[in-house]
Amino acid sequence: MEQLLLGLVLAATCAYAFLNGFRDVSNSVASAVRTRSLTPTIAVLVAAFFAFVGTMLSQAFGTYLVSAVDLNVPGRSLGLAVMLSGLVAAGGWGLFCWWRGIPTSSTQAVISALAGSSGASALLLGGDGVQGALRMLLLGVGLPLLITPLVAYAASFALVASATWLARNSSSDDVNAWGRAAQSISACAVSLGHGLQDGQRTGALLTLALVTGNAVQPGTYPLAAQLTGGFFLAAGALFGGWRISHTIAYRLVSIDALRGATAQAVSASMLFMGALVMHLPLSTTQAVTSSIVGAGANQRFESIMWRNVLRVLSYWLAAPVTCAVLGGVLFLALSPLLGRS
C-alpha cells in the first residue's frame, strides 16, 4: 500500500506541475502578447524555456520549502495520504478556475490544501499537527496574499510615473518600440522567476514525497526531483493554456507596451526577491495580475475593468478556505482505507 501511495503522490505532483505550467506560465507573457511585443508561439517557447532554467538555477528555495512544510502525522502511509489529498484538492480547484478563466494562485492552492489535509489528520489521529497547519496557512498563504497584490499594485503604479516622465520628450513610435523591447526582456525575467518559485516548489513536493515514503534520506534534495519539476512545468507551458491569459491580457485592463514592461519588471523583481532572498512562496499569477492592474491605473483615461478585477480578487480570497476544506475532506475520506499505518 505504501509503495502504491508513493507512486500516486509522485504522479499527482507531476500532473499538478503540468497543470501549473498549463495555467500559469503563459500568464507571464500574456501582456507581451497583448501589446505584440512577442508572438504567441515565441511567447510560449520563451515561457517554457525560462521556467525550466529558473527551476534549475538554484536549490536553495526548494530545500527551504522541504523543511517548511509540516506533515506532522504518525506513519508514512498517512503522510503520503495527506500529500495526495492536498494535491488532488488543489488540482481540482485549479481546473475549476481554469474553466472559469480566473487567474488564481497555484502556490497558495496547494499550500492551503496541504494545510487542510494535515490539520484533518491531526484532528482525526491526535498530535500537534493543527498548529503546523495553521502556521502553513499563515506564513505560506496569508502573508503572501496580503503582501503580493498590494506591493505589486503600488510599485507598478509608482514606477509608471517615472517611466512616462523619462519618455516625455520621445515620440509615441519610439516609446512603443522601446517598450516592446523592454517587455520582451521582462517577460523572460518573469518566466525565470516563475521557475524559481513554482518549479522549485514542485521539486520540493517530489522530494517531500520521497522522504515521507522513506525512499530518500531527510535533508536531501535530489537533482532528479528538480529536473522532473522543471520538465513538467515547461511541458505544461508548451501546451499553452491561454484561457486564463486571455483574462489577464484583455478582460482586466488596457495597457501599452511601456506600462506592460514596467508591470513585468515589478513582477519579476518580486519573484526573485521572494525565492532567493526572503524564501517566501509568492504567486506568479497574483504578482503579474496586480502589477498589470497597477500599471494600467496610472493613466489619464479609465482603463481598468473593475468589475472583473473584483471578481478575480474574490476567487483569491476564497481559495485558501476552499482548498483547505477540500484537502481535509479528501483526507478524511481516504483515511479509513489506510488505518493507522
- For 220-268, write each residue's pLDDT tens digit: 788 898 899 999 998 888 876 666 666 776 778 888 888 888 999 999 9
Whether the predicted pLDDT of 69 surpasses 60: yes
Give the three cell numbers for residue 12.
499527482
Q: Is residue 49 part of a domain?
A: yes
Q: Is residue 340 part of a domain?
A: no
How big is the chain by its Cα radius of gyration, in Å? 20
**Cα–Cα distance for residue pair 50/319, rounded to 1 Å:** 27
Q: Is residue 338 part of a domain?
A: no
Strand partners for 304: 253
Residue 235 has phi, psi (to 5 degrees) of -60, -40
**Full-model pTM:** 0.88
By three-state DSSP, how is residue 340 classified? coil
Q: How far is CA 71 from the centre of its chain?
A: 21
Domain count, the chain: 1
The residue segments making up the domain with residue 6 are 2-333
Lowest mean pLDDT among 11-15, 18-22, 158-162, 244-248: 244-248
Q: Is residue 339 part of a domain?
A: no
**Cα–Cα distance for residue pair 40/53, rounded to 1 Å:** 20
Q: Which residue type, as a one-letter code, is found at position 24?
A: D
Q: Is residue 42 part of a domain?
A: yes
Q: Which residue reads 509503495 in cell numbers? A: 3
